[in-house]
Amino acid sequence: MEHVSEKRFPLNAKDYKLYEEVGEGVSASVYRALCIPLNEIVAIKVLDLEKCNNDLDGIRREVQTMSLIDHPNLLRAHCSFTAGHNLWVVMPYMAGGSCLHIMKSAFPEGFEEPVIATLLREVLKALVYLHDHGHIHRDVKAGNILIDSNGAVKLADFGVSACMFDTGDRQRSRNTFVGTPCWMAPEVMQQLHGYDFKADIWSFGITALELAHGHAPFSKYPPMKVLLMTLQNAPPGLDYERDKRFSKSFKELVATCLVKDPKKRPSSDKLLKHHFFKHARPVEYLARTILEGLAPLGDRFRTLKAKEADLLVQNKALYEDKDQLSQKEYIRGISAWNFNLEDLKSQAALIPDDGTPNAEEPDIDKKQKDRSDDGRVPADGLSSVSANHPDVASRLDKEDGFNNIQDLESSLPSFPSKPLQALKGCFDVGEEDVTNTSPRDLDTDSGRSNETSGPSGSLPQNAIAQQKKFLSGSLLPDTFPSSKKVIDGDRDYLQTKYSSERNHSGPLSYRQKRDNTNHPLVDDASEGAIVQRKGRFKVTSADISPMGQANCAYGPVSVAPASPPNQNPVAAAILPSLQCILQQNSFQREELIKLIKYAEQSYGKNAESADAVESLQAPPVTSRERDLYFQVVQLQQSLGTLVEELQRQKMKNHQLEKQLSSMASKLEK
Ligand SMILES: Nc1ncnc2c1ncn2[C@@H]1O[C@H](COP(=O)(O)OP(=O)(O)OP(=O)(O)O)[C@@H](O)[C@H]1O
């Protein structure tokens, strides 16, 4: 294992010389820089703290994690300090940049298999370390896999990572809707039972596909559609026709990771032993194959930015087309998604309804058909995937996704209720939005907050100004002021509706990064009634608490097919309530069936169980039934809590054992 550098990096901005910009995320700009006293090239991530008042806890945790980790495949911070109202995070310079940028510059169709195997093995080693130490990364994707000039691979960006050993509020952050939609595991979207390390394994599988094709599955679709497709479709995978160039073992690896049931996914440890990694080479191979001939990172970054600006100009007339926006944001390696539910529906409606497979995903329909046909796929092990999704077959001959608002509405009964509740409860689906903002307004406004302008390489004025306050040591203090409550102790994106608010305060502006005043083009695009924009999006478990559902009736409800909201304002007004009732109903029924099954196991009343389950087709009618139901719910809740506590203790134990054995082995030496 790489040892922590003994070098002392200065905690003073004057000791660094900033060169060109080499990357930017939603929250920060990254510069190549020289550490003058050490004469060493470094990368410095500059975050404007004034724009992220509400998210200081999140930043502190990111920096803490970056400073404490110690693994050659994880990007570690050398140090961090404040300079004026900026936070500078000094880290090793990864001259190759991110895999996403490398693909966008030189490998638009994705990498060859040995390259992928080598990259994935290194990433997996990082995940093994993180998981062993109780961390979930929660944002594994090609944009966060960095390569240095020697081909060394490091997983970066701990902005949304979580610790499994957290308790209380922080523990609740694992019930948080966080990540980037295309890479997000279904259980993270679903919010039913929280999630664990296995969420990273799903993202790892999606990243494998991303590296193979040059883009993640569903990357062209707007976020609502990504959610629906991830939850309702068969998991994506390598296609037998299109992906002939890839080995059976690669296809198996992907299929193993992309299983919807997290319990059926392997641990990172186990995955590392997969025979696919026999294709992996020493990392120098990466330097020879994918880095050779590439322009310096700063130039590539500038070119990509220019391309992006072109795309923006070209598509100005087509601003409403969210596909273009998703693509552009994807090219930048970030996801500034818009999560107003009404807008999401509008976005989904913009996907052509012509049945033509998506240009980015030409094989989605076909793939699903392939994967539904067990007879055609067993050789490569994907039949098991279909087998994991018995609901898939019934959908296979339908078009994937939801191509218009009516489709979305009518899909509700089969759509897992929680995600949509999450969206409804948290993405600004307020009366105001519905009444004041037409779908067209929303379209015009959304998703464009991160357009860039201004010459690349120019340093932000505020990056070097006002170097007043410095922290000693690499961590921000725990008492770092946070002006607003941060739910879950994690990044919390409170909802803002108007650009003026969004640009000057709140975590949104943090993830959004750029002050729009520097970017007139962006300003133009984002004037007016703005809907929610986010980087990685996040909905806390608190947000999706049943509070908002209190008014929902629990009885069976039949709902007439919904009309598009703009055609029938009355229907539009009552539609959310109807959806809510309908979701509640189906959700409650599912929960009851689960509870009965549970009770059946606990009390061994096998003979009566079938009747009991059938009787659940109707809601509990007598007060006795209701009492029993509530007792069972309470029992299950306390059992769940106990099991969680036990798991936490087990993990702590495991951790302690590891520490003990490593101490013991050190002592032996
Ligand atoms: N150490 C580094 N060396 C070289 N380039 C880097 C380094 N760190 C980051 N970058 C580049 O800068 C980009 C943005 O950095 P980072 O992901 O940390 O910012 P972010 O705001 O957290 O991004 P996002 O949340 O959008 O993923 C990266 O995608 C990468 O291309």
* pLDDT tens digits along 58-95: 677 777 777 778 899 999 889 888 898 888 989 999 99
Residue closest to 327 by CA, chosen among 183, 197, 215: 215
Ligand 1 geometric centre to CA of 634 (Å): 45
Q: Whose CA is nearest to atom 19 of ligand 1?
A: 25
* Joined tokens for residue 409: 């509405």
Q: Name the most confidently modeled range: 157-161, 357-361, 450-454, 543-547.
A: 157-161
Record the pTM. 0.56
Is the pLDDT assigned to residue 522 strictly greater than 60? no
* Joined tokens for residue 144: 């966060």
| Annotated binding residues | 45
| Annotated binding residues for ATP | 45
Catalytic residue (choose from 55, 139, 200, 492): 139
Element (H, E) at 462: helix 461-464
What's the average model confidence in pLDDT over 459-485? Answer: 34
Q: Which atom of ligand 1 is nearest to the CA of 139?
A: 27
* Joined tokens for residue 357: 């497979």
Where would I find the H helices in 338-404? 341-350, 364-372, 383-388, 390-393
Pocket test for ligand 1, best of 9, 19, 21, 24 (most atoms within 8 A of CB): 24
CA distance 25 to 507: 14
Q: Whose CA is nearest to atom 23 of ligand 1?
A: 25
* Residue pLDDT, tens place only, 238-260: 988 889 999 999 999 999 999 99
Ligand 1 geometric centre to CA of 302 (Å): 15
Q: 323: which residues sit within 8 A by CB, 6+ positions away?
A: 220, 221, 222, 350, 351
Q: Which pLDDT band, with edges at 50, 70 and 90, does 185 fall under? A: confident
Ligand 1 geometric centre to CA of 47 (Å): 11
Q: How many helices and strands, by DSSP H and E, does the chain display?
A: 27, 14
Res 179: pLDDT: 54
Res 54: pLDDT: 56
Res 354: pLDDT: 35
Instruction: Give me the chain's average pLDDT, please.
Output: 64
- Share of residues in the chain with pLDDT > 90 (%): 27
* Residue pLDDT, tens place only, 323-358: 555 555 554 444 333 334 444 444 444 444 333 333
Q: Is 410 in contact with 294 (CB distance < 8 Å)?
A: no
Q: Which residue has the higher pLDDT, 402 or 581?
A: 581
Pocket test for ligand 1, best of 73, 74, 146 (most atoms within 8 A of CB): 146
Is 139 a catalytic site residue? yes
CA distance 633 to 592: 9
CA separation (Å) from 592 to 422, 558, 598, 617, 626? Answer: 21, 20, 10, 10, 11
Res 12: pLDDT: 94
* Residue pLDDT, tens place only, 589-630: 666 666 666 655 655 544 444 444 333 334 445 667 767 766
Q: Whose CA is nearest to atom 11 of ligand 1?
A: 23
Res 584: pLDDT: 58
Residue ranges lining ligand 1, Cβ < 6 Å: 22-28, 30, 43, 45, 75, 91-94, 97-98, 101, 143-144, 146, 156-157, 159, 333-334, 535
